[in-house]
Amino acid sequence: MSSSPSNDFLAKAQAATQRVAASAAVQQNATPEQAKIVEELAQDRPTIHAAVTSFLSLVAARSLVTPDVQQQQQQQQQSEEVPLVLTNAQALQCSRILLKAINSTTLCATPTKSKSTTTTNNEEEYQLVAQLWNGLTASEQKPARFLGRRALRHAWADIQPAVATTNDDEKLLRFVEEFGHLLFLDNKGDDDDDSALIWDVDGGKKELEKRRERRQQRAATAEQQEQQQNEEEKKLPFIEELKEEEE
For 203: left if phi > 0, alpha if psi spans -120 to 50, otherwise beta; the answer is: left
Question: Does 13 score more than 60 pLDDT?
Answer: yes
| 3-state secondary structure (DSSP) of residue 47 | strand
Report the run of H or E that residue 13 belongs to, with start and end. Answer: helix 5-27
**From CA 196, how far away is CA 24, in angstroms rounded?**
30
Strand partners, 47: 148
Residue 198 near residue 204, CB atoms below 8 Å? yes
What average pLDDT does range 92-99 have in this prediction?
Answer: 97
* pLDDT tens readout for residues 119-155: 556 888 999 999 999 999 998 999 999 999 999 999 9
**What are the residue boundaries of the structural domains of the chain, listed by start?**
5-203, 206-247
Question: Does 85 score more than 80 pLDDT?
Answer: yes
Among 6, 41, 58, smallest CA distance to 204 is for 58
What average pLDDT does range 18-23 have in this prediction?
Answer: 61
pTM listed for this prediction: 0.74
For 2, phi then psi, to 5°, come to -80, 150
* pLDDT tens readout for residues 153-192: 999 999 999 898 888 899 999 999 999 999 999 877 667 8
* pLDDT tens readout for residues 178-233: 999 999 998 776 678 899 999 999 988 888 888 788 777 777 776 666 666 666 66
Residue 188 near residue 181, CB atoms below 8 Å? no
Residues 6+ positions from 162 with CB-CB distance below 8 Å: 101, 105
**From CA 150, how far away is CA 31, in angstroms rounded?**
20
Note the Cα 42 to chain centre separation in Å: 19
- Mean of the per-residue pLDDT values for the chain? 79
Question: Does 22 score more than 70 pLDDT?
Answer: no
Note the Cα 211 to chain centre separation in Å: 17
- In the chain, the amino acid numbered 19 is R
